[in-house]
Amino acid sequence: MKEKAHKERRQFLKLGVTSLAYLPLASIAYRVANAADLPLVDEKDPSALRLGYVHDAADVDTAKFPKRTGDAGAKQFCHNCALYQSQGEGGAAPCSIFPGKQVKAQGWCNAWVARKQ
Ligand code: SF4
């Protein structure tokens, strides 16, 4: 009887430890799923306007934001910005400049910082 209780307790503890091991994976999956549900930043949002954010980097007002001029500037997109929280040149993903929102991979704003390779 005592042996059976010991065995059940061991199994219970094993299950608990195994469940805890999967917790980080579940957390990552939850965040990825939630990120996909975030709305896009509105280009007319005051902070987006202040930073010159546009969904399509070709639409940047370079007179107002000369950072995106020249050969080097033309290569700046959200997808190669250090603050873009995903990989890939398509779609959209969160950006730490706009909490709770997504920005387009082909977008741009004046806070652009080169992603380290
Ligand atoms: S900080 Fe980077 S990723 Fe975020 S909107 Fe600006 S250019 Fe795009």
| pLDDT bracket for residue 25 (50, 70, 90) | very low
Domain CATH number, residue 116:
4.10.490.10
Provide the CA 10 distance to its chain's centre, in angstroms.
Answer: 40
Query: What distance in Å separates the CA atoms of residue 58 and residue 65, rounded to the nearest whole number?
Result: 12
| pLDDT bracket for residue 114 (50, 70, 90) | very high
Query: Same structural domain for residues 43 and 32?
Result: no
Our count of domains for the chain comes to 2
Ligand 1, residue 76: give the atom nearest the CA. Answer: 7
Residue 21's SS3 state is: helix
Tokens for 16? 């608990």
Residue 44 belongs to domain spanning? 39-117
For residue 112, how far is its CA from the centre of ligand 1 (angstroms)? 5
pTM, entire model: 0.74
Tokens for 5? 């209780």
For residue 89, how far is its CA from the centre of ligand 1 (angstroms)? 13
Please tell me the predicted confidence (pLDDT) of residue 31. Answer: 53
For residue 83, how far is its CA from the centre of ligand 1 (angstroms)? 6
**CB of 77 shorter than 6 A to ligand 1:** no
Query: Same structural domain for residues 75 and 93?
Result: yes
User: How many CB atoms within 10 Å of residue 7?
Assistant: 10
